[in-house]
């Protein structure tokens, strides 16, 4: 049976009932199709027996829920919680601290890397879940019976998954590994708020130099502020490719903005003067450091060798290779090796200098770097 919570009083009663419960499963439903920030619509909570569906749109007092979910003595079971943490933080000022993420645990125990909830349920219980309501309108009221059933199922299996994966972590003696990944997950969630260097993510930005790169940086910062203020997706303001082309051309008059592919006249009229202003401001900025060019063919060969070495480590450790080190980290290490003045001195990501990765991942990468002629 699912209980529908649609008043401040009902929410308080639910929180009182759960006050002594040590482990709670939780999920959220939200919409983010035409806004910068996610719009929360529903919170699902389960104690393992009962499911509560919290109609966020009908409630305006969330202090009791904040106390419940932020209590460090209580474990909250999520699956792939990064976006859930973001929406809870932004919409309700709720920041959980004690989390068991079943997606992380499934990866650490080699059940499956980055596995979705439905796939994980199928693998562990041989149950096929209906995911057709994933993209439905969760802000519409009333919700359909099918939506309600779907929402409840999203927390139905979390307690059982938690038990299975907790036991697996203990048997494999990987509790510390899991703890490290959980800390990294919190860091990643916090990092999602920082877009001060968004220009580095623009495809093809490495081709720009000097004033054009400074202009791109300014334009990205302006768009970020505009998107947040208007609560619109970045692409609804100006797409990345258009910003890149504007920065390349460095126009000084509005008539020069017309004719840029995919940028329509109404958008030029709305944002043109602001874009030109940012370009003008950027002329006085300190030079922006050039973005490194893509790796050469020879360097990519070394990258492949690094991945191959990690594959061997993953097989020996019985853990998905993707958990060992990501492409961004490997590229940063390789670039430090190529750019360094002294052979054998590399810049290592923080997480490769501590814990289980320092003992198994770092030596494997270092062995490849020290054995290749490319770095000599």
- What does the pLDDT read at residue 322? 87
Specify the higher pLDDT residue, 267 or 135.
Answer: 267
- What does the pLDDT read at residue 353? 92
Which residue in this structure is represented by tokens 């419960």?
21
Residue 368 within any structural domain of the chain: yes
Q: Which domain holds residue 130?
A: 2-191
Residue 292 within any structural domain of the chain: no
Nearest to 85 by CA among 105, 67, 106, 70: 70
Specify the higher pLDDT residue, 282 or 345.
Answer: 282
* Mean pLDDT across 129-156: 91
- What does the pLDDT read at residue 228? 95
Residue 56 within any structural domain of the chain: yes
Q: How far is CA 171 from CA 124, 194, 201, 344, in A?
A: 17, 38, 41, 37
- What does the pLDDT read at residue 55? 98
- Which of 29-33, 57-61, 195-199 has maximum average pLDDT? 57-61
45-59, 70-84, 299-313, 333-347: range with lowest mean pLDDT: 333-347
Measure the CA angle with vertex 228, ends 225 and 230; round to 5°. Answer: 105
Tell me how far apart the alpha carbons of residues 228 and 231 are, in angstroms, rounded to a whole number: 5
Residues 72 and 187 in one domain: yes
List CB contacts of 293: < 8 A, sequence separation 6 or more: 206
Residue 291 within any structural domain of the chain: no
Nearest to 106 by CA among 48, 62, 36, 164: 164
Residues 367 and 258 in one domain: no
Residue 264 within any structural domain of the chain: yes
- The CATH number of whichever domain residue 258 belongs to comes to 1.10.150.80
Residues 32 and 167 in one domain: yes
Average pLDDT, the chain: 93
Residue 288 within any structural domain of the chain: no
- Structural domain count of the chain: 3
Tell me how far apart the alpha carbons of residues 30 and 134 are, in angstroms, rounded to a whole number: 10
3-12, 215-224, 308-317, 346-355: range with lowest mean pLDDT: 346-355
- What does the pLDDT read at residue 344? 66
With cut-offs at 50, 70 and 90, classify the pLDDT of residue 153: very high
Residues 39 and 179 in one domain: yes
Specify the higher pLDDT residue, 342 or 27.
Answer: 27
Residue 287 within any structural domain of the chain: no
- The CATH number of whichever domain residue 103 belongs to comes to 3.30.420.10
- What does the pLDDT read at residue 132? 77
Residue 289 within any structural domain of the chain: no
Specify the higher pLDDT residue, 321 or 18.
Answer: 18
* Mean pLDDT across 31-59: 96
Residues 81 and 170 in one domain: yes
With cut-offs at 50, 70 and 90, classify the pLDDT of residue 188: confident
Residues 107 and 56 in one domain: yes
With cut-offs at 50, 70 and 90, classify the pLDDT of residue 343: low
* Mean pLDDT across 228-243: 96
Residues 211 and 167 in one domain: no
Last residue of a domain, one of 282, 317, 340: 282
pLDDT above 90 for 192: no
With cut-offs at 50, 70 and 90, classify the pLDDT of residue 116: very high
H helices within 49-81, ranges in order?
A: 63-70
Residues 152 and 64 in one domain: yes
Residues 94 and 121 in one domain: yes
pLDDT above 60 for 376: no
* Mean pLDDT across 92-98: 96
Residues 207 and 174 in one domain: no
With cut-offs at 50, 70 and 90, classify the pLDDT of residue 8: very high
Last residue of a domain, one of 191, 220, 243: 191
- Which of 144-158, 190-204, 327-341 has maximum average pLDDT? 144-158
Residues 67 and 211 in one domain: no
List CB contacts of 69: < 8 A, sequence separation 6 or more: 24, 26, 76, 88, 94, 96
Last residue of a domain, one of 247, 282, 317: 282
The strand pair at 51-55 and 39-46 is best described as antiparallel
Residues 98 and 167 in one domain: yes
Tell me how far apart the alpha carbons of residues 202 and 217 are, in angstroms, rounded to a whole number: 10
């Amino acid at each position: 049976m699912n209980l529908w919570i649609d008043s401040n009083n009902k929410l308080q009663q639910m929180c009182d009932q759960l006050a002594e419960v040590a482990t709670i499963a939780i999920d959220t439903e939200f919409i983010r199709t035409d806004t910068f920030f996610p719009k929360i619509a529903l919170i699902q909570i389960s104690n393992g027996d009962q499911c509560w569906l919290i109609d966020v749109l009908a409630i305006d007092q969330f202090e009791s829920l904040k106390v419940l979910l932020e209590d460090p003595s209580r474990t909250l079971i999520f699956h792939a919680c990064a976006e859930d943490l973001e929406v809870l933080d932004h919409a309700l000022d709720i920041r959980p601290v004690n989390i068991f993420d079943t997606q992380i645990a499934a990866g650490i125990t080699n059940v499956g890397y980055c596995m979705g909830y439905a796939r994980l349920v199928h693998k562990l219980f041989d149950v096929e879940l209906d995911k057709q309501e994933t993209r439905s309108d969760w802000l519409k009221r009333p919700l359909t019976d099918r939506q309600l059933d779907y929402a409840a199922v999203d927390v139905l299996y979390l307690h059982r998954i938690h038990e299975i994966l907790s036991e697996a972590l203990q048997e494999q003696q990987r509790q510390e590994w899991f703890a490290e990944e959980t800390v990294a997950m919190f860091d990643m969630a916090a990092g999602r708020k920082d877009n001060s260097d968004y220009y580095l993510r623009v495809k093809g930005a490495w081709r720009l130099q000097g004033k054009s790169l400074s202009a791109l940086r300014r334009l990205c910062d302006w768009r970020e502020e505009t998107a947040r203020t208007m609560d619109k997706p970045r692409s609804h303001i100006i797409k990345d490719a258009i910003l890149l082309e504007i920065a390349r051309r460095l126009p000084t008059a509005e008539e020069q903005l017309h004719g840029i592919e995919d940028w329509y006249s109404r958008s030029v009229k709305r944002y043109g003067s602001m874009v030109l202003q940012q370009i003008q401001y950027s002329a006085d900025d300190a030079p922006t450091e050039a973005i490194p060019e893509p790796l050469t063919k020879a360097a990519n060969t070394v990258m492949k060798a690094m991945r191959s070495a990690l594959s061997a480590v993953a097989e020996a450790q019985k853990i998905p290779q993707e958990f060992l080190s990501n492409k961004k980290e490997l590229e940063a290490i390789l670039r430090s090796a190529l750019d360094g003045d002294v052979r054998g001195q590399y810049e290592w990501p923080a997480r490769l200098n501590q814990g289980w990765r320092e003992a198994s991942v770092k030596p494997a990468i270092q062995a490849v770097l020290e054995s290749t002629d490319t770095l000599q």
